[in-house]
Chain A
Amino acid sequence: MLCEICKIREANVQYTEVVNGVKTEHHFCSQCARDLDFGPYSAIFDGEFPLAELLSALLGGETPAQKQDKYQQIVCPTCGMTYSEFVKNSCFGCADCYSVFDVLIHDNIKQLQGSDSHRGKKPVYQNTGGEDTVHPEAGGAGSGAAGDVPGAAGDGGSASVEEQIAALDRKLKDALRREEYETAALCRDQIRALKGGAQQNG
């Protein structure tokens, strides 16, 4: 059955009205129903889809209420998103939200995704500062994987010198842990070069 109002969409809301003992039935689609005034029942149509709320509840974690209260106040400085807003919509406001809310959402993301670290493709044209463990299959599918030179001096140029140094430092430690001394030495030299450059500029 089509919606009585728009006559376009399929009706999926049945509205029964009883006025002075006279019963009338109406059939609306959810979109038109949202525009009508159903008094206290309007709230039903406000949410985009109930699944999002279910997901939100999972993401927000039904953890002890006190913990929630304490974190409700955290606000992302870049986009102004608060933690409670995030929990409500399960939608991030900007890239920085990930690091701002990291402590709060880390476990939930892990639960949701079954993993907490990305293993796939990396942006080819920007310096992600990461260690290049591009998987051969993933790289093969892209048009030329990012080179395997550690911290390939970025042509993206978006990361600041400090970020590059921090990334190289992480890679250095990682290389040492795996006893890959050649990679480590390369990282060390690059950090030195970057630090030298920074001092000259400063």
Chain B
Amino acid sequence: MDNCRNIIYSKVRLSRNWNEYVFPARLTDEQAKEMVGRLCGGLKDIDGQLNMRYDLVDLSEIGELGRRLLKERRVINRTILKKQAPMSMYLSDDEDVSLVFNGADHIRIQVTKPGFHLGEAWKDASQLDDFVNARFPYAYDQKYGYLTSYPTNVGTGMKAAAIVHLPSLALGKKFPSLITDMGRFGVSIRGLYGEGRENYGAFYEVSNQKTMGLTEQEIVDLVGRVAVQFDDQENQVRDMANKNHRLIREDEVYKSYGVLRYARRISMKEAMTYLSQLMAGCTDGLVRFKESCDIYQLILGIQTAGLQSRSRRPLDKEELDVARAEYLREQLPELV
């Protein structure tokens, strides 16, 4: 969708619990192992669901680096990364669809779609949800809906998120207060990369704050509305800049490309900043690559665990910066 060019991807997550077991926090390791085994076994005919192939991943076996890699690629969350208990996951070939067993809840269904496709992500997640429910009855209450470990997820058990790229909007003085104000509409916005109060690259996740009292479609609509609003504002600012200050914009984008393409060592902050500018330049048609290049994939690739797993050993900060620059030189195609 051209008019939603700054919405990088859409994500829907559903939290469910099987009514035969207590929630993960109270499961012994043995019970957890049994439950995970039964869930994996019961769903082993998952191949073909949503027209995809799935691999079974034992999350406790792949170690912390493996899990950190999955977290960087936004397949799992922090809770699953840190958790020490039997956990497994069905992961689709393209990593867009995952079912995690025994995370914060028994079953965590996640569907990610590139671009702005929240409605479709919800539809797919719901279809998988039915696929699971046909085999495993859920903990469900007439009043409270789907029962979850945390009261912050109860009801629909749904989190709908849109990841937006707002490099120009984020420069504005009013941006921080705008983010705070959004809370009043029932959505929360958080920066995806950065340290402390500093944001690298201006990627933000818009998601619903509440999980009860709204239908899933209403949640999808709410998050979508805010994401589109952000996208629209960003477009207005960028179009104006492209029109009135084209040379400055082009200079920014080409310089970013130059640094990324030729640097010998590059920190996370630098790499994120330049990739963000290059992404905006590509989106606006200021630069064109000879081969197609998904800059978002590069952003995923330059994170710590990704670089470490490529070099197959732990790297210190200096080595990481060198590996990051190497990776970018290798991956960035030439310009037209």
Interface residue ranges, A against B (CB under 8 Å): 1-2, 6-10, 12, 48, 55, 59, 78-81, 89-95, 97-99, 105, 108-109, 112-126, 128-130, 135, 137-138, 140-143, 156, 158, 167
Min distance, Cβ B214 to any Cβ of chain A, angstroms: 7
Known: A121-B126, A137-B217. 17 other contacts (CB 8 A): A55-B152, A81-B26, A92-B148, A92-B151, A93-B26, A94-B21, A94-B22, A112-B210, A113-B154, A116-B212, A118-B141, A120-B156, A121-B156, A123-B146, A126-B137, A141-B217, A143-B126
Distance in angstroms between the alpha carbons of A106 and B317 in the assembled complex? 49
The answer to whether the Cβ of B6 comes within 8 Å of any Cβ in the partner chain is no
Distance in angstroms between the alpha carbons of A109 and B219 in the assembled complex? 18
Min distance, Cβ B77 to any Cβ of chain A, angstroms: 12
Min distance, Cβ B111 to any Cβ of chain A, angstroms: 12
Interface residue ranges, B against A (CB under 8 Å): 17, 19, 21-23, 25-26, 82, 119, 122-123, 126-127, 129-130, 133-134, 137-152, 154-156, 158, 186, 195, 210-219, 304, 308, 314, 316-317
In the assembled complex, 9 residue pairs joining A and B whose CB atoms fall closer than 8 Å, in A order, are A2-B317, A10-B195, A79-B26, A93-B22, A95-B17, A114-B210, A115-B212, A120-B156, A120-B215
Q: A121 to chain B: which residues have CB within 8 Å?
A: 126, 129, 156, 215-216
Distance in angstroms between the alpha carbons of A65 and B122 in the assembled complex? 43
A143 touching B215 in the complex, CB below 8 Å, given contacts A1-B317, A114-B210: no
Q: B143 to chain A: which residues have CB within 8 Å?
A: 116-118
Q: A9 to chain B: which residues have CB within 8 Å?
A: 304
Distance in angstroms between the alpha carbons of A129 and B158 in the assembled complex? 22
| Contact B142–A112 (Cβ < 8 Å) | no
Q: B130 to chain A: which residues have CB within 8 Å?
A: 124-125, 142-143
Q: B218 to chain A: which residues have CB within 8 Å?
A: 137
A interface, by DSSP: helix, strand, loop or mixed? loop
| Contact B217–A117 (Cβ < 8 Å) | no
Q: How many A-B residue pairs have CB under 8 A?
A: 168
| Contact B23–A8 (Cβ < 8 Å) | no
Min distance, Cβ B31 to any Cβ of chain A, angstroms: 11
| Contact B25–A126 (Cβ < 8 Å) | no
| Contact B142–A167 (Cβ < 8 Å) | yes
Min distance, Cβ B299 to any Cβ of chain A, angstroms: 17
Residue of A109, A140, A142 near B154 (CB, 8 A) is: A109
Min distance, Cβ B207 to any Cβ of chain A, angstroms: 15
| Contact A105–B151 (Cβ < 8 Å) | yes
| Contact B215–A135 (Cβ < 8 Å) | yes
Q: B213 to chain A: which residues have CB within 8 Å?
A: 113-119
| Contact B142–A130 (Cβ < 8 Å) | yes
Q: B151 to chain A: which residues have CB within 8 Å?
A: 59, 90, 92, 105, 108-109, 112-113
Min distance, Cβ A162 to any Cβ of chain B, angstroms: 15
Q: B17 to chain A: which residues have CB within 8 Å?
A: 95
Distance in angstroms between the alpha carbons of A124 and B129 in the assembled complex? 9
Residue of B134, B138, B149 near A92 (CB, 8 A) is: B149
Distance in angstroms between the alpha carbons of A113 and B156 in the assembled complex? 11
| Contact B23–A94 (Cβ < 8 Å) | yes
- 7 shortest interchain CB distances as A-B pairs: A115-B213, A118-B145, A95-B139, A94-B22, A137-B217, A113-B212, A93-B26
Residue of B23, B122, B126, B133 near A95 (CB, 8 A) is: B23
Residue of A8, A78, A115, A138 near B217 (CB, 8 A) is: A138
| Contact B215–A138 (Cβ < 8 Å) | yes
